[in-house]
Amino acid sequence: MKLETQIDKISYIIGEDIGNSILKEGYDFNLSVLLEAIKMAAEGKSENLMTEAEKNNVMQKWQAEQQAKKQSQIAEQSRQARKQGEDFLRNNRLQPNVTETPSGLQYTVLQEGVGQKPLSTDKVRVHYHGTLLNGTVFDSSVQRGESIVFPLNQVIAGWTEGVQLMNVGSKYRFYIPADLAYGDQPVGNIPAGSTLIFEVELLGIE
Please name the residues in contact with 25: beta carbons below 8 A apart, sequence gap of 6 or more.
66
Per-residue b or e along 42-70, where b marks 16 or more CB atoms closer than 10 Å to that residue's CB: eeeeeeeeeeeeeeeeeeeeeeeeeeeee
Q: Would you name the residues annotated as active-site residues?
A: 128, 138-139, 156, 182, 198
Contact 104, 179 (CB under 8 A): yes
Per-residue b or e along 22-34, where b marks 16 or more CB atoms closer than 10 Å to that residue's CB: eeeeeeeeeeeee
